[in-house]
Amino acid sequence: MTAPKGPTGQVNTMRLGHKVIVLSSRFVAAIMLLSCVVRADPTTPFQSGVAQVDADHYRPPLPESLTLDIARQYALDTNPSLAAAAHRIEAATAVYKQARSSYLPTLTASASAIHTHDTPMSQLFVGVEPYDSFTISAGLNWLIFDGFARQGAVLAAREGEAMEENALADGRRLLLRAVSTAFHSALLASENLGIAREDAAFNAGLAAEERARLTAGRGSRSEVLNFDVRVGEAEDQVLVWDQQLEIARTALATLMAAPLARLPEATVLALPTPTGDAAKVPELEAELAHAMALRPDLSRQERAVQQAEALVAVAKGECWPTVMLTAEYGESRRDNPRFDDRADALSSVGVFLAWDFFTGGSRQLAVEEARALVAASERELDAARYQVLGEVRQEYQNLMTAVKRLGKREDIHAKTLETRELVAAEYRAGKQTVTRVNEVQQDVVSASGRLALARIRVIQARENLDAATGRNLEPVGTTP
């Protein structure tokens, strides 16, 4: 019988016994479309760039006084890059468990119901009527030996998991350093903003005094204009440093994954408590030893070498035969599925051995490739060690220089303040010129800015050294 065609001219049939059910292509398409509609999530809205940060309301609130330690912990808790690294660890753990599962047997269950309607004429020794056959079975396959390839794969997967853990630790190390840099940049901008405002107020006061003298007939218009210009220049610097402060605060908020990448206006960065710890220069040899032992990126590279060595074992395993144990039990019956355990049972057990004697040399070349990758990983580890040693030495030298410069800057700043007081008093007494007043004020502004920079540099230099050695991953208060 010819099956009727659907509207598109296509025919979809499904046999059931001696009957044929005809499904039109339009009906099939309708079913498929309905399944797509059911699977769609009607509650998922289109998210714009701002709407994508909808999860921001889950962020913990920021305190009004933000310290560096709080900023660090907030960044560790909310930074999405660290969350992604944590998920990569989960993936690596799953890969490791997958590799271990290769030691277990594979159990398979199957069932079939087959209707045989037509039989080739060449096989019709006797008349064969259409019939049904039913089969159920359960099988076991167990890989007994594969040349230790599985062992190498498990070791490689375990090293891969450790590498991802080290990558997360190194991501924390770099994030903490970036947060520290942004935090101190904001503090420096805030200090310079305060210096610029103080400079404007100082010159505004002198301008007011000179106007009073001009009104009394004892001053000059040029000196009034001179101080007004100084006020304008100081106010210009206020705008510059206010912008720099906002840029630094935005960078810090981005690293912290703060809502909408901004810090609330009420959040003020707290100055660190003055201590002598930052100015203490540790022993260089101790810092080098600590970095070589605990830097997570070095540990990751060492794991990479071990993983490459494990992959050599995997490549060697391909040169050996594989031995597999197999067993199966099932039942098969015609015409009806009422199985008889004695009459319909079938069972088997066996051992299979497979060995590729010749593959054109590809397996040996794979072993050579794996060994070459081991050598490359070892050289990369050497390069990473030299890079870490050089980084620690540079940051150590930066800290030593910053500490020495801070002492000099404190002395210079104290002297400029004293000089300004003397010159200002002499100017009011008519014994100094306005030019000299401008000079000493510029000296004070310059010395104040450089002193603030020197203080921040000492703190940041210590932070950079701790990051270079990996000490910034230690709990607060444990760094020597």
Question: What pLDDT shows up at residue 33?
Answer: 37
Tens digit of each residue's pLDDT (9 = 90 or more) over 121-143: 665 555 567 888 899 999 999 99
Other CB atoms within a 10 A radius of the CB of residue 111 amount to 11
Q: What is the reported pLDDT for 124? A: 55
Q: Which tokens sit at 25?
A: 């292509």
User: Average pLDDT, stretch 316-336?
Assistant: 90
**Strand bridging mode 131-145 / 322-334:** antiparallel
Query: 38 vs 30, 45, 112, CA distance in Å?
Result: 12, 16, 30
Q: Does 159 or 32 have the greater pLDDT score?
A: 159
The answer to whether residue 150 scores a pLDDT higher than 50 is yes
- List the single range of 85-94, 116-125, 342-351, 361-370 with lowest mean pLDDT: 116-125
pLDDT of 369 strictly over 60? yes
222-236 mean pLDDT: 88
d(CA 405, CA 279): 11
Which pairs with CB-CB distance under 8 Å and at least 24 residues apart come from 420-423? 420/444
Q: Extract the runs of DSSP E, i.e. beta strands, from 167-307.
A: 268-269
8 Å CB contact between 234 and 442: no
Q: What is the pLDDT of residue 38?
A: 36
The pLDDT value recorded for residue 277 is 59
Per DSSP, 266 falls in state: T
395: Cα within 13 Å, side-chain hemisphere: 24
Read off the amino acid at residue 118.
Answer: D
Phi, psi at residue 350, to the nearest 5°? -170, 170
Chain centroid to CA 250? 19
Both structure tokens of 431: 């014994």
Whether 477 contacts 275, CB under 8 Å? no
189 CB-near residues (< 8 Å, 6+ apart): 241, 244, 245, 247, 248
Q: Which residue has the higher pLDDT, 48 or 336?
A: 336
- pLDDT at position 278 is 56
**pTM for the whole thing?**
0.75
Q: How confident is the model at residue 324 (pLDDT cuts 50, 70, 90)?
A: very high
Query: What confidence category does residue 328 fall into, taking pLDDT thresholds of 50, 70 and 90?
Result: very high
Q: What angle do CA 320, 325, 328 make, to 5 degrees?
A: 150
pLDDT at 275: 56
Q: Are 371 and 316 in contact (CB under 8 A)?
A: no
d(CA 232, CA 238): 10
pLDDT of 45 above 50: no
Instruction: Compute the Cα dihedral for 465, 471, 474, 480 and give only its sign.
Output: negative
pLDDT of residue 3: 43
Model confidence band, residue 309 (pLDDT cutoffs 50, 70, 90): very high
Handedness of CA 47, 49, 50, 54 (dihedral sign): positive
Q: What are phi and psi of 357, to 5 degrees?
A: -70, -35
With residues binned 3-state (H G I as helix, E B as strand, rest as coil), the percentages for the chain, rounded to 5, are 65, 15, 25
Give the model's pLDDT for residue 5.
Answer: 43
Average pLDDT over residues 197-223: 84
Lowest mean pLDDT among 209-218, 301-310, 377-386, 457-466: 209-218
Backbone angles phi and psi of 108, in degrees to 5: -130, 135
99 and 157 Cβ atoms separated by less than 8 Å: yes
| Six token digits for residue 86 | 């944590």
Share of residues in the chain with pLDDT > 90 (%)? 51
What single letter denotes the amino acid at residue 279?
A
Q: How long, in residues, is the chain?
A: 480
Phi/psi of residue 170, each to 5°?
A: -70, -35
Cα 317 to Cα 154, 304, 310, 377: the distances in Å are: 13, 20, 11, 21
DSSP H or E segment with residue 183:
helix 149-215
Burial of 79: CB neighbours in 10 Å, binned 0-12, 13-18, 19+: buried
Rg (CA), the chain: 39
What is the reported pLDDT for 270?
85
% of the chain surpassing 70 pLDDT: 83
Q: How far is it, in rounded angstroms, from Cα 230 to Cα 204? A: 8
Q: Is the pLDDT of residue 29 over 60?
A: no
User: Of the ranges 1-5, 31-35, 115-119, 315-319, which is most confident?
Assistant: 315-319
430, burial (CB in 10 Å: exposed 0-12, middle 13-18, buried 19+): exposed
Band the pLDDT of 50: cuts 50, 70, 90: very low
What's the confidence (pLDDT) of residue 377? 95
**Residue that wins the pLDDT comparison between 56 and 191:** 191
Average pLDDT score, the chain: 83
pLDDT band at 107 (very low <50, low <70, confident <90, very high): very high
The Cα–Cα gap between 338 and 346 comes to 15
More confident of the two residues 290 and 36? 290
Considering only residues 273 and 16, tell me which one the structure prediction assigns the higher pLDDT: 273
